[in-house]
Amino acid sequence: MRVNHAGEIAAQALYRGQSLTARNAEAAAAMRQAAAEELDHLAWCEQRIAELDGRVSRLNPLWYAGSFMIGSLAGALGDRTSLGFLSETERQVESHLRGHLDRLPAVDRRSRAVLEQMKHDEIEHGARADTLGAAALPGWVQQAMRLTSQLMTRGSYWL
């Protein structure tokens, strides 16, 4: 859950950064709404971490700052690119959550419920971005996003 929590820190920072640099009001509103829902996910993860007597990642301030900067840059590249970034982010997060759900013990129904709802919401965020005209990102950008996500996952798991 610590890794999922760190992902939610990053996601809401990304979308806040993107919303500040969006040119189209509808795109900015979609980013703000996604960021608000990521805050819900963040709260659910925090609650579940507390229930499991765990702790959040010590790297969260770094994830927030870096993600906010990346989101601002993505937004500055234009709304279609920014929406494409949101769409790809959510596709990758959905994949991560599916993998986590596959590894999660069946008896941990509480964590499973949290992750299932998060997965549902992430799919909706990506679909909304696609509806608003998200541009497909180049393969090298998608790969860079995956590598960054892996770095964040490993760092958050241990620290």
The pLDDT tens digits for 49-102 are 999 999 999 999 999 999 999 999 999 999 999 999 999 999 999 999 999 999
Residue 148 domain-assigned (yes or no): yes
Residue at token pair 């709260």: 43
Residue 18 domain-assigned (yes or no): yes
User: Which residues fall within 8 angstroms of residue 119, CB to CB, at 6 or more apart?
Assistant: 94, 97, 98, 101
| Rounded Cα gap, residues 103 and 97, in angstroms | 10
Residue 158 domain-assigned (yes or no): no
Residue 136 domain-assigned (yes or no): yes
| Rounded Cα gap, residues 107 and 35, in angstroms | 31
Domain CATH for 33: 1.20.1260.10
Residue at token pair 């279609």: 80
Residue 45 structural domain: 2-153
- The pLDDT tens digits of the residues spanning 106-151 come to 999 999 999 999 999 999 999 999 999 999 999 999 999 999 999 9
What pTM did the predictor assign? 0.91
Q: How many domains does the chain have?
A: 1
Residue 132 domain-assigned (yes or no): yes
Residue 159 domain-assigned (yes or no): no
